[in-house]
Structure 1
């Protein structure tokens, strides 16, 4: 027996393995169709500066773009930003940049802003923005190097140089917010929307 009640699977406009794993674990039928957008150009053209607004904008643009290519389908777009005060972080380009990000975050609290938008036929029908506050424990250079050695290439796959679902968990002393927001998809809110559309059996 399956949880999913839709006649067609969701379309996920993201190639994020973490987001795909969350939907799969929740028993949601979905197909992957990543949005091919120049995110930095969209961000610059918008003139927005607040992390939450940027995450919401990019999630919306991804969902809308892919929904125009998949008529009459529900398309999920998502995005996440990391902010330390007024400073926003992007995925590190390599080990050295990851080390710099970890040095900046160590011993401090930063915020992850995770946005999700569902679109159909070029129109947004649902949106949510959730925030998690992440307090990283103090880390000396030796600890950072040991983490980078152990994590390998994974440090370039996520903003901040860590993945909480992997070795990145060792870097933190406190997390305020739900696990799904940390992984980049406000799943409980998305499930609530799908339930309101009678697309879930539970």
Structure 2
């Protein structure tokens, strides 16, 4: 039950565990009446990616989500563990978080005027094993941006924000100005596809309605 004493949507007596330190993912779950315990998984994402460098971006996202869920599920055997990860790909090439403002600007220059994909994967573990997994994809088309516009965005957003996501933007903030067209659910873009996740929870009897 939430700290304010109000009824919780979560039906099981076991905890709902989010294998992530992402504030955005936690807030998404809380916004729909769920109160997850956050237990971030410590995995080496680049090593996992190197195991099969030719993997399609959606498959890579699933593998990362599964690794996170599995890592936490081993010590949370009595909980339901949600692992999630997101991969940004442009023409099949996977992007990683920029190391600084200059690299963020370079990312934006490559994405400008083109359509890229955000593959958001979720893995669900119960009793120490993966019981479900899925991936949802959003298509985002960025406006044509010249160097001056990119520099202005990077300066306004600030180093902390442009280096905190692989695309160097947060769609829920200043990043929305960068785009001309978006196809996909908002929660998928934020990294935790809520509609398919809630549907699966409901099918398993984990939600009160």
TM-score band, normalised by shorter chain = over 0.9
CA contact (8 A) 1:64 1:120 kept: no
Q: How does 1:101-180 map to 2 (within 5 A)?
A: 101-152=107-158, 153-180=160-187
| Structure 2, unaligned runs of 5 or more | 1-6
Match of 2:56 in 1: 50
CA contact (8 A) 1:64 1:121 kept: no
Match of 1:61 in 2: 67
Shift of 1:131: 0.5
Match of 1:32 in 2: 38
Shift of 1:47: 4.4
Question: Quick one: which of 185, 194, 199 aligns to 1:192?
Answer: 199
| Structure 1, unaligned runs of 5 or more | none
Shift of 1:194: 1.1
Match of 2:29 in 1: 23
Shift of 1:197: 2.0
Q: In terms of mean alpha carbon deviation, does 53-62 or 141-150 score higher?
A: 141-150
Matched, 1:88 2:87: no
Shift of 1:6: 2.4
Shift of 1:100: 0.2
Q: Please, what TM-score do these two structures have when normalized by structure 1?
A: 0.96
2:107, 2:54 → 1: CA distance?
23
1:13-69 Cα offsets, whole Å, 9 max, x none, are: 011111111001011121000111111111212344210010000100110110001
1:131, 1:23 → 2: CA distance?
19
1:46, 1:106 → 2: CA distance?
28
Count of residue pairs the alignment pairs up? 202
Question: Quick one: which of 190, 200, 203 aligns to 1:183?
Answer: 190
Q: Please, what TM-score do these two structures have when normalized by structure 2?
A: 0.93
